[in-house]
């Protein structure tokens, strides 16, 4: 009887991203991205303004034209802060998994 290994089903399609093409994050950017996953995001009554929780809650405003603003030190220094990353993740997940309406 002929045996079937996993390689029998291997496809010869090119990978979309090769390992050398993956974006490299510096240590601070990696830390911000990991911390952003732990923060809670709450939309406010003003569209485009979010309260981002943690030990020291911050306000993220996406309504300033093309400028994204947070009131934390990292944002003032020109970085994409963990609060902004948390809002971007929240919005992406909201579009991917919309809340079901309850009757």
Listed by start position, the domains of the chain span: 27-95
Handedness of CA 13, 18, 21, 23 (dihedral sign): positive
Tell me the backbone φ, ψ of residue 94, rounded to 5 degrees.
Answer: -65, -35
Q: What is the pLDDT of residues 34-68, one digit of tens each?
A: 888 999 999 999 888 999 987 788 999 887 665 67
Q: pTM value?
A: 0.66
- Residue 17, pLDDT score: 47
Q: Given pLDDT bands bounded at 50, 70 and 90, which one contains residue 27?
A: confident
- Residue 65, pLDDT score: 66
3-state SS, residue 89: helix
In this model, does residue 7 exceed pLDDT 70?
no
| CB-count burial class (<10 Å; 0-12, 13-18, 19+) for 7 | exposed
Mean pLDDT confidence for 12-40: 70
Q: Where are the alpha helices (DSSP H) in 1-103?
A: 27-36, 73-76, 82-96
Mean pLDDT, all residues of the chain: 76
Mean pLDDT confidence for 6-27: 55
């Amino acid at each position: 009887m002929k045996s079937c290994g996993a390689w029998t089903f291997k496809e010869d399609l090119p990978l979309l991203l090769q390992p050398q093409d993956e974006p490299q994050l510096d240590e601070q950017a990696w830390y911000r991205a990991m911390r952003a996953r732990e923060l809670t995001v709450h939309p406010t009554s003003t569209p485009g303004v979010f309260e981002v929780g943690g030990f020291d809650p911050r306000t993220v405003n996406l309504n300033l034209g093309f400028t994204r603003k947070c009131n934390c030190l990292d944002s003032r220094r020109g970085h994409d802060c963990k609060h902004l990353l948390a809002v971007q993740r929240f919005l992406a997940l909201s579009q991917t998994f919309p809340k079901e309406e309850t009757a």
